[in-house]
Amino acid sequence: MNRINNPKFFYGWIIAICCFISASSYGFFFSLGVFFKPLQSEFGWSAGLISTIHSLHLTVMILTIPIIGRMTDRYGSKIMFLLSAFFMGLGFFLCGIVRELWQFYLFYLIASLGVGATTALPTSIIQKWFIKKKGLALGIAVSGIGAGPPIAAPLANYLISHYGWRTSYFIIGGLLWAILTLVALAMVDKPEDIGLCPLGEEEFHGGLDGEPQVGYTTTAEETIPLKMAEWITKDAIRTKTFYILSSIWILCALPVHLVMINIVPFAINMGIPKGAAATGLGLIGGMSIVGRLLGGAFSDLFGLKRSLIVAAFFSTAALLWLPFIKTSHMFLIFVVLYGFFYGARVPQIPGLIGNYFGNKNLTEIMGIFWAMAGTGAIIGSLIGGFVYDITGSYVVPFLIAAVCFGLAGALTFFLKTPKPVMGLELGKVSP
């Protein structure tokens, strides 16, 4: 089949929109807080019991994402998106018939089995479609994760207010099934499957350290072939680059969840009005979407590593300033700056993973990275409250968050293109 280099409309942008929609569906798992009061009123369940459901969800996500990634590389994304639509739709739908706590755990677990398609898949599939403007495309895809909660929470609140919590779960389950099924129908794993080339393939000249350089050539010493080594998982996880990138993602995930959970009580303790504190939390999410989009676009101009370093260090600076905030105006400045820069680093890590390890087993490799990030998220969600209980202050937890971002930025300087192992050559796959 002859491949088309410059179609009038590049289907990859449809894939980017599908990835955005898929990623945004994950926001419905954050709507649990909206259902909290109705569930507590009807069943008398404690806050602790309901809160453990989210921990169960994260645990299921960590365990299943690498498996989903491996299955996607083997069977294709359409099947996995259809399975995700089935599990998420069924799980949320069944939550509407809950009578006992164990049933809620079980049905939420069923819904959680579909999470992998909303996280690892968008960040890997999109990279097979783009060389030029890859950062922007990744930014669009991961913006869905940030856009999901602001969409899901108000929708869930509206449905509960008008139809009750049981009918709301029925509606959300059906909606998720329909949306993800449509995504599956539109999804194409790679441009070659429909006779296209990745966007910018004809302009590409590879640079060192996994940084694609589009539209200009480098010196002879800094140029490597377009056909880079396509790593398989068992070889990729043996490289120094894999462990550095894993550490970076864990160090970034930990402070994000630490801050999101503890920022509102910290602000209230500092004398900031409750309404302003809650608004600030929403602004962090909103600015993170802006950061993801612009951060992705900036990486196309300045490189993924440079963009990640800048985003990590500015996040560190914002968190170091946080303990000195005394007024609502200062708090507003913080949430705008922190939200933007924490969002700006999100597209960079998946982009670097794709550049370093190629597309052959990218979804499985990405799934392993997402699982590690989930581990950092669990630690971050627990450590803030634990340290506060010991010290009686949020200063130490936020200093820990600042140090994590700083270490992530520092480790990025040490990232290098992994050296091929024996039997792995440029353009060839290890047997």
| pLDDT tier, 399 (very low <50, low <70, confident <90, very high otherwise) | very high
Among 117-121, 156-160, 295-299, name the one with the lowest average pLDDT. Answer: 117-121
**Residue range 29-63, pLDDT digits in tens:** 877 777 877 888 888 877 666 667 877 888 888 88
3, 195 Cβ separation under 8 angstroms: yes
Among 146-155, 167-176, 271-280, 376-385, name the one with the lowest average pLDDT. Answer: 271-280
Residue 33, number of CB atoms within 10 A of its CB? 14
**Residue range 306-364, pLDDT digits in tens:** 999 999 999 999 999 988 888 888 888 999 999 999 999 999 999 999 989 988 888 88
Domains of the chain with bracketed CATH: 12-192 (1.20.1250.20), 233-412 (1.20.1250.20)
Taking the C-alpha atoms of residue 58 and residue 70, their distance in angstroms, rounded to an integer, is 19
Instruction: Give residue 110's pLDDT.
Output: 94
Instruction: Give residue 180's pLDDT.
Output: 94
Instruction: Give residue 18's pLDDT.
Output: 93
Instruction: Give residue 4's pLDDT.
Output: 59
Instruction: Give residue 341's pLDDT.
Output: 95
- Is the pLDDT at 282 greater than 70, yes or no? yes
Closest CA to 413 of 309, 299, 312: 309
**Residue range 171-224, pLDDT digits in tens:** 999 999 999 999 999 999 889 888 888 887 766 544 444 454 433 333 333 333
Amino acid at the residue 422: M
Q: What are φ and ψ of residue 125, in 5° steps?
A: -60, -45
Instruction: Give residue 219's pLDDT.
Output: 33
Instruction: Give residue 404's pLDDT.
Output: 96
